[in-house]
Amino acid sequence: MINETELTKNNFQKAKKTRENKEHFKKAVAHIRYKNKTGKIVPGTTTIIGILAKPALLNWANRIGLEGYEIEKYKNEAADVGTLAHLIIEKELKQEKLDTSLYSSHNLTIAMQCVDKWHDWKKQHDFEIIMPEKSLVSELYQYGGTIDCYCRLDGKLTLLDFKTSSVIYPEMFVQLAAYKQLLIENNNPVENTRILRIGRSEYEGFEDRQVTNLSLYWEMFIHCWEIYNLKKQLKF
């Protein structure tokens, strides 16, 4: 029979683990500061693209609400699972071991289902990792970004971008174009670009999207970059 002291101890350990778990997630998704060769901080790709309106997210939030879910709770739980799945794949590509003791068994189980989708996809291709997660900076355009994976896929030098989301949003292609430029500018030729959308549930599924022409998306990124810098000058 568990006494009151043991219950208090168990509750304390549970609370401590929860705090550690949340802190670990904060570190995992912490904003990276990109610096150019002179040491000056430059904006990140996602920051620049952030000026775009995202009507698709509003439609998603409306749908989730109509289905009876609490938006913030649903979003936070999905984000935790998505971040964990992304982290597991990242560690795997780097051949590093992830300390899973900091994560709840519930989130870990769901995240591993996401990772299994990645494993199933990889088995269908000739895959050779060249560069796992890597932060790069464009000296030409003065922005930074972190690519998920640069590899040789089915014989082609490929930029892979992992998305743990319910759908592929248009701005994701803009981000992909910016990442492609970062690789090319840093002497890493790109022959193919793909977004792998790894759903966080069976409902969200899995999607492999190849993009053969990113020229218009790159043009959109440049416009975002220009507006971002104008807003900065105007102190919006």
Q: What is the per-residue pLDDT across 84-137, written as a single tens digit (0 to 9) for each?
A: 888 999 999 999 988 888 788 888 888 998 899 999 999 999 999 999 999 999
Does residue 103 lie in a domain region?
no
> Count of domains in the chain?
1
Does residue 203 lie in a domain region?
yes
Under the phi-then-psi rule, with left for phi > 0, alpha for psi from -120 to 50, and beta for the rest, what region is 129? beta
Does residue 136 lie in a domain region?
yes
Does residue 4 lie in a domain region?
no
The string of pLDDT tens digits covering residues 127-179 is 999 999 999 999 999 999 999 999 999 999 999 999 988 889 989 999 999 99
Does residue 182 lie in a domain region?
yes
User: The tokens of 86 are what?
Assistant: 């992304």
pTM of the model: 0.78
Distance CA 165, CA 78 (A): 8
- Exposed / middle / buried, residue 112 (Cβ in 10 Å: 0-12, 13-18, 19+): middle
The string of pLDDT tens digits covering residues 14-49 is 445 444 444 544 444 456 899 999 999 999 999 999
Cα–Cα nearest to 200, from 169, 164, 230, 174: 164
In this model, does residue 59 exceed pLDDT 70? no
pLDDT band at 235 (very low <50, low <70, confident <90, very high): confident
Does residue 198 lie in a domain region?
yes
Query: Contact, 193 vs 12, CB < 8 A?
Result: no
Distance CA 195, CA 5 (A): 51
* β-pair type (41-42, 127-138): unpaired
**Burial letters for 1-22: b for 16+ Cβ neighbours within 10 Å, e otherwise?**
eeeeeeeeeeeeeeeeeeeebe
In this model, does residue 231 exceed pLDDT 60? yes
Classify 38 as helix, strand or coil. coil
In this model, does residue 11 exceed pLDDT 60? no
Write down the pLDDT at residue 187.
Answer: 97
Cα–Cα nearest to 75, from 164, 5, 147: 164
Domain that holds residue 200: 45-72+126-234
Classify 97 as helix, strand or coil. coil
Distance CA 144, CA 138 (A): 6
Does residue 88 lie in a domain region?
no
Does residue 194 lie in a domain region?
yes
User: The tokens of 100 are what?
Assistant: 């899973």
